[in-house]
């Protein structure tokens, strides 16, 4: 499916499916050393209310103990949920960090606060409710939800609504973090060799999941240019020998 997406063989509807994007990206990351892409990428996730990032938690990460995709969670006293990705990370001090990733592409949250329901129902609040309960049972102290979207800036209202419902119903401040798909290409930029990172970069480029699209002129090579004030000329060219001169009126510029 990845190669079909890279070569434009999917329909527009298929290309917009966030489950395919999640499967392709994190499915490939699963087979990379975590320090090559996963840990640096997740370290950029930020709590929009405190400005804290996951860097402090992940700087001592050693390896991923477990990967789960779309695992059904049903902790006691919680409304069940199915987060896109669940990752258990082993730290250098032998403690565990547990993260749930709720990935979005073109869509928003699938559920919101429900009046008359004593348990959190908002999608992110519900996932955190299950996560917190399970982590307390397993004595895991580092846990949180990563809201992964294609936005250029944090969708603060989504997170605010989730936080407000959880605080109201559980009297506890949830651990929410936001991360953009668009930050992934910068993480992968330094690796020009591994075929997996190359495919990930091409996937992000094809889906326009980048912060800035650089100008790309593969056939020009290194551009040279000059400006000569005495003759009012301005010209540039490339190593292949072509040259472009601009003229304005009767003068050559």
Is 201 in the same domain as 222? no
Is 132 in the same domain as 245? no
- The whole-number average pLDDT for the span 87-113 is 96
Q: Quote the number of domains for the chain.
A: 2
The DSSP 8-state label assigned to residue 105 in this structure reads S
By CB atoms closer than 10 A (0-12, 13-18, 19+), residue 78 is buried
Instruction: Give the end of a domain, one of 206, 225, 245.
Output: 206
Is 157 in the same domain as 114? yes
Is 197 in the same domain as 223? no
**What residues make up the domain containing 220?**
215-253
| pLDDT value, residue 51 | 84
Is 45 in the same domain as 138? yes
Q: For 130-184, what is the HEC assignment?
A: HHHHHHHHHCCCEEEEEEEECCCCCCHHHHHHHHHHHHHHHCCCCCEEEEEHHHH
- The whole-number average pLDDT for the span 96-123 is 96
| pLDDT value, residue 233 | 53
pTM: 0.80
Is 197 in the same domain as 224? no
Is 74 in the same domain as 181? yes
Q: Which two tokens stand for residue 69?
A: 């995709």
Is 173 in the same domain as 234? no
| pLDDT value, residue 224 | 60
pLDDT, tens only, 61-88: 999 999 999 999 999 999 999 999 999 9
For 153, the 3-state DSSP assignment is coil
pLDDT, tens only, 16-71: 478 999 999 999 999 999 999 999 999 999 999 998 999 999 999 999 999 999 99
Is 153 in the same domain as 250? no
Q: Which two tokens stand for residue 43?
A: 């370290």
Is 190 in the same domain as 221? no
Instruction: Give the end of a domain, one of 206, 225, 241.
Output: 206
| Beta partners for residue 165, in sequence order | none
pLDDT, tens only, 186-229: 999 876 678 899 999 999 998 899 986 554 444 545 656 555 55
Is 202 in the same domain as 219? no
| pLDDT value, residue 150 | 96
Tell me the average pLDDT of the chain: 85
| pLDDT value, residue 211 | 86
Is 148 in the same domain as 245? no
């Amino acid at each position: 499916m990845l190669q079909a997406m890279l070569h434009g063989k999917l329909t527009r509807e298929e290309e917009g499916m966030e489950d395919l994007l999640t499967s392709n990206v994190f499915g490939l990351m699963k087979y990379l050393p975590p320090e090559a892409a996963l840990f640096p990428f997740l370290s950029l996730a930020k709590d929009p209310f405190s400005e804290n990032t996951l860097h402090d938690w992940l700087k001592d990460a050693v390896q991923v103990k477990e990967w789960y995709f779309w695992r059904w969670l049903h902790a006691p006293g919680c409304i069940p949920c199915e987060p896109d990705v669940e990752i258990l990370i082993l730290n250098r001090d032998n403690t565990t960090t547990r993260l749930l990733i709720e990935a979005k592409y073109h869509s928003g949250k699938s559920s919101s606060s429900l009046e008359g329901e004593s348990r959190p129902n908002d999608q992110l609040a519900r996932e955190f409710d299950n996560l917190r309960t399970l982590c307390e049972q397993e004595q895991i102290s580092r846990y949180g939800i990563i809201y992964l979207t294609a936005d250029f800036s944090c969708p603060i209202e989504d997170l605010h609504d989730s936080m407000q419902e959880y605080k109201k119903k559980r009297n506890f401040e949830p651990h929410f973090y936001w991360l953009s798909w668009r930050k992934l290409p910068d993480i992968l930029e330094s690796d020009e060799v591994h075929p997996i990172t190359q495919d990930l970069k091409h996937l992000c480029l094809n889906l326009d999941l980048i912060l800035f699209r650089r100008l790309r002129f593969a056939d020009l090579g290194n551009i040279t240019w000059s400006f000569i004030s005495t003759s009012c000329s301005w010209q540039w060219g490339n190593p292949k020998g072509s040259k472009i001169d601009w003229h304005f009126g009767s003068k050559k510029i």
